[in-house]
Structure 1
Amino acid sequence: MSRRAVVIGAGLAGMLAAAALSTAVDEVIVLDRDDLPDGPEHRRGLPQGRHAHLLMAGGLAAMEDLVPGGSVRERLLAVGAREVSLSSGMLALTPDGWLRRWRRPGPSMIACSRALLDWAVRSAVLAGTRTEIRKARALELLGTARRVHGVRAATAAGDTDVEADLVVDASGRGSRVVTWLAGIGVSGLRERTVDAGLVNATRVYRMPKGAERFPLTVVQADPYTSRPGRSGMVLPIEGGRWMVSLAGTRGGEPPADPDGFLRYTLDLPDPLVGRLISGAEPLTDVHISRSTRNVRRYPEKAPHWPEGFVVLGDALAAFNPAYGQGMSVAALGARVLARELRRSGPDAPGLARRVQRGAARSVDMAWAVAVGQDVRYPGAVGGAPGPADRLVTAYTRRMMKAATGSYDAARAVWDLMSLRAGPARLLHPATVLATLAGSPLPPSARPPLTESERKVVRALDRTGR
């Protein structure tokens, strides 16, 4: 008998879910209300799409397992994405000082526009699987509290019922999953929101001649000062461009006007971002987004969960994008789905619950990082740090301080931020020893630039600083 799966949402999480499902069913139908572009172009339904995104090593590894047709990494690099080594290819100012750059190995991340990544994954999944995208808006789930068996969708031709053996909600931050579940008699889905009031502002520049290999540069926000968090990043992307993204929490929001945008970069804890872009040619206006709340749903803890229904991606957990982990968490969740389908098939009792429990483990570390910092900013909504939070924060901050000059501590930070390891990495003996020992080197007061990189900064700087 032919088996069908339906995915709600054709974003990154949805296409990765389709790839996972395609190995276990005969047909995958993806429903999305947007007209999807044929190439790497921005689309309306992705409010964060114009801002900086980083594909971490853990997420890339999951995508390599899921996406058919060859290496995702090689496909992205071939169309202009950059591979950035966390050990040597990044300039990062943390609240505890500049991270040193090491001539020793470390994980890499992929830097490109979100539009390029989405297009590369979508085209590979459509070419390599039995997946069809239909323009439609999901209205409600079909089924009962015991089992979901499809989706009612609105199309240009009218409402239609799409029957399925398995339904995946990957509809993103705007998911109506609570309403959909209520419609079939399921309640008790816990949600938590933590909102630091963060605003993103992004402008794209032409990469100046001679700066083609300049490192990814980030000045991080400081959650420990009782002041609004302010950060900035210069991200190399395809097409010989710099994507410059600023972020500020409530009371420290970046402005939308070009002059204010530059002033904001110069008022960061270090003016390096502003010095770089002051002599670069802007290619776009400043784009603003306020869709940045941390929102987590807990289907794995629901008293009852219907068979045949799974929630993944931002519909499961959406993060403040400043931490760069949302895409990787979505990929890890889709890999859990693929693993459970391989183990037992799409009809196995308890499949949906097992997927939700496995996906929750993928969320835990990223959620702890994002929420543990965001609750500290002035005016944050969604709770205050408790005793356990303060203990974890004290330890992780000591680890970050050690990472400014300790390779072993830095490796632990890279593994955690790259989602190559879970919370247990915090208590690995080598991590604990490095954290307790602290940095053997004094903190660096200046960015760890090479002489050729200093020349680039001097050539671009129009600020007089």
Structure 2
Amino acid sequence: MSDPLRSPRRTRSRRAVIIGGGFAGVLAAAACRAFVDEVTIVERDVLPNGPLPRKGLPQARHLHALWSGGANAVESLVPGVTGKLLAAGARRVPLPTGMVSLSPGGWYRRWPESHYLIACSRDLLDWAIRDLVLRQSHVTVVESAEPVGLIGDARRIDGVRIRLEDGSEQQLAADLVVDASGRSSRGPQWLKDLGVSPVRELAVDAGVAYASRVYRAPAGSEDSPLFIIQPDSRLPGPGQSAGIMPIEDQRWLVSLSGTRGGEPTDDESTYLDFAKGVRHPLVGELIADAEPLSEITVTRSTVNRRRLYERCRHTPEGYVAIGDAVAALNPVYGQGMSVAALGAVALRGELRRAGVTAPGLARRAQRAIARPTQVAWGLATGQDIFYPGARGRLPNAADRLLSRYVNRLVKTSTGSYSMAKALTDVMTLQSGFDRLVRPDVLIGAVRGPLRPRLSKPPLTRRELGFLRPGGSGASGPDARDGVRRDSGRTEP
């Protein structure tokens, strides 16, 4: 293989350079590898050789859900990765069967499976994908390298300038540069330095903070569901949430979150009280007697930020942004990884259609990447703008109408299998938002829930055993009714 550190020049060999070796970057490499002779990933850190923490990814300590829309996209890009994850201890959790969740409209029933998610630590997820992609002989990584600028002009990007660990600078020639450098991407400034018109940015900041900790899961909880207490932006005061995800090695990853004025902290004396003080105390009660296995980690970099590359008046050839470099989302909605994976699939589709050097590739790819991004952006910011102290644009009449409609759909989904399936189609990014305005969904929203609201979390007898005696999750007829064992294909 030729040296990846070389001056930019046109050769018969085609190369893609990926800025960033995280989740989005490695998937971008997987998307490009069939259409170029070389893929070079530029990474600031030294990547771990196993499912271990990575220095440049502090948010990995928090709960990450890979919804079925994203998981299917990852598997299509990296065949075999799902099996690798499951063999290493990850869980394929059926939805909504394997989730105990209090939505703004009430407790979801645990209908038979219509979707799923992959539950594991972020360290395991990133490693499994990276291990398979980097086995390809024409995919290499330049580690401990800092990207410092782009090479080219306003018409075409020809490569990337990087600074190595010893302080020297090198140039990487490229037919395609993919910016997967995340929230901190300097792409817009680099493009501006080359004379490209400014990239418009949007931001909505609800001031969310996360505090997460790993616990030893109780004995007998090998098939434990997810437990999620969602916030409700319609209630006065900050939005607070709590969640438990089962991860590998018989552990529970617990994440608490709160918007501005109601943030959790790393104070051990208040962590349990916060978990019990959200809309329902279930998560706090589940971890009350559990053994902590880690310190409490707090993250506050949660601003919803979107860069509208697809709306640029002029898009230079040879440059595409993906993942958090395009849209960084409030993690409470768990859609960031799925958006990145679907963006990589969109990029691959454009490369397959026309090739890496086709005129207009960058613009077409950026527009394709924007489609799944817009769905997740609308769902996230459509709620966050209503929390007290939220910064960014103020909600307008259209926002309020959309919010009321989504809340109606959520409430209806607590008592209707078909409506729950439609809403989950969108939440898992297996469908676009148009799924929620089809005639059957509109009629269902007007009709409302077909079953009464559950007053207690729908727990099985085994799950009740995880609770301290006298906990608020005590079962009742309506709670048991929420755990469906029939086909669920027809409405009651």
TM-score bucket (shorter structure): over 0.9
Partner of 2:109: 100
The CA RMSD measured in Å over matched residues stands at 1.5
Partner of 1:112: 120
Q: TM-score, normalised by structure 1?
A: 0.97
Specify the code of the residue in structure 2 equivalent to 1:11. G
Matched, 1:421 2:431: yes
Matched, 1:393 2:407: no
Deviation digits for residues 383-427 of structure 1 (CA, Å, limit 9, x no counterpart): 121111111111111100000111011001110110000011011
Partner of 1:335: 345
Specify the code of the residue in structure 1 equivalent to 2:99. M
Partner of 1:360: 370
Offset at residue 363 of structure 1 (A): 0.4
Deviation digits for residues 252-310 of structure 1 (CA, Å, limit 9, x no counterpart): 00121122110101111111101110110000010000011100000110111100000
In structure 1, stretches of 5+ residues that fail to align are none
Partner of 1:223: 233
Q: Distance in 1 between matches of 2:55 and 2:472?
A: 35
Q: Distance in 2 between matches of 1:5 and 1:258?
A: 46
Which of residues 174, 188, 191 is equivalent to 1:178?
188
* Alpha-carbon distance change, 391 to 327 in structure 1, aligned in 2, over 3 angstroms: same
Q: Distance in 1 between matches of 2:408 and 2:295?
A: 39
Partner of 2:149: 140
Q: Distance in 1 between matches of 2:471 and 2:248?
A: 23
* Alpha-carbon distance change, 430 to 462 in structure 1, aligned in 2, over 3 angstroms: closer
Partner of 1:455: 465
* Alpha-carbon distance change, 129 to 54 in structure 1, aligned in 2, over 3 angstroms: farther
Specify the code of the residue in structure 2 equivalent to 1:295. R
Contact 1:279 1:461 in 2 (8 A): no
Please list, as runs of the form range in 1=range in 2, the aligned pairs for 1:12-411 lying within 5 A after superposition: 12-67=23-78, 70-102=79-111, 104-128=112-136, 130-135=138-143, 136-157=145-166, 158-411=168-421
Offset at residue 459 of structure 1 (A): 6.0
* Alpha-carbon distance change, 105 to 156 in structure 1, aligned in 2, over 3 angstroms: closer
Secondary structure (helix, strand or coil) at the match of 1:366 reads helix
**Larger displacement relative to structure 2 (19-28 or 455-464):** 455-464
Q: TM-score, normalised by structure 2?
A: 0.92
Equivalent residues, number = 461
Q: Distance in 1 between matches of 2:395 and 2:137?
A: 45
Q: Distance in 2 between matches of 1:449 and 1:427?
A: 32
Specify the code of the residue in structure 2 equivalent to 1:337. L
Offset at residue 460 of structure 1 (A): 10
Secondary structure (helix, strand or coil) at the match of 1:371 reads helix
Matched, 1:436 2:446: yes
Q: Distance in 2 between matches of 1:269 and 1:188?
A: 43
Specify the code of the residue in structure 1 equivalent to 2:152. G
Contact 1:167 1:308 in 2 (8 A): yes
Specify the code of the residue in structure 2 equivalent to 1:113. S
Deviation digits for residues 299-336 of structure 1 (CA, Å, limit 9, x no counterpart): 11011110000000000000000000000000011111
Specify the code of the residue in structure 1 equivalent to 2:454. S
Q: After the TM superposition, which segments of 4 or more aligned residues of structure 1 sit over 3 Å from their partners?
A: 458-464
Specify the code of the residue in structure 2 equivalent to 1:27. E
* Alpha-carbon distance change, 460 to 318 in structure 1, aligned in 2, over 3 angstroms: farther
Offset at residue 456 of structure 1 (A): 2.1
Deviation digits for residues 82-120 of structure 1 (CA, Å, limit 9, x no counterpart): 111112100000111100111x33100001111111001
Q: Distance in 2 between matches of 1:303 and 1:26?
A: 31
Offset at residue 47 of structure 1 (A): 2.4
Contact 2:93 2:118 in 1 (8 A): yes
Contact 1:145 1:306 in 2 (8 A): yes
Partner of 2:488: none
Secondary structure (helix, strand or coil) at the match of 1:352 reads helix
Q: Distance in 2 between matches of 1:230 and 1:196?
A: 11
Specify the code of the residue in structure 2 equivalent to 1:322. V
Secondary structure (helix, strand or coil) at the match of 1:218 reads strand
Q: Distance in 2 between matches of 1:362 and 1:143?
A: 29
Secondary structure (helix, strand or coil) at the match of 1:204 reads strand
Deviation digits for residues 193-224 of structure 1 (CA, Å, limit 9, x no counterpart): 11100000000001111222221100001111
Q: Distance in 1 between matches of 2:85 and 2:307?
A: 31
Contact 1:279 1:462 in 2 (8 A): no
Secondary structure (helix, strand or coil) at the match of 1:42 reads coil
Q: Distance in 2 between matches of 1:127 and 1:108?
A: 28
Contact 1:19 1:129 in 2 (8 A): no
* Alpha-carbon distance change, 462 to 426 in structure 1, aligned in 2, over 3 angstroms: closer
Q: Distance in 1 between matches of 2:336 and 2:52?
A: 20
Contact 1:64 1:72 in 2 (8 A): yes
Offset at residue 129 of structure 1 (A): 5.3
Contact 1:85 1:108 in 2 (8 A): yes
Percent identity of paired positions between Structure 1 and Structure 2: 51
Q: Distance in 2 between matches of 1:458 and 1:231?
A: 21
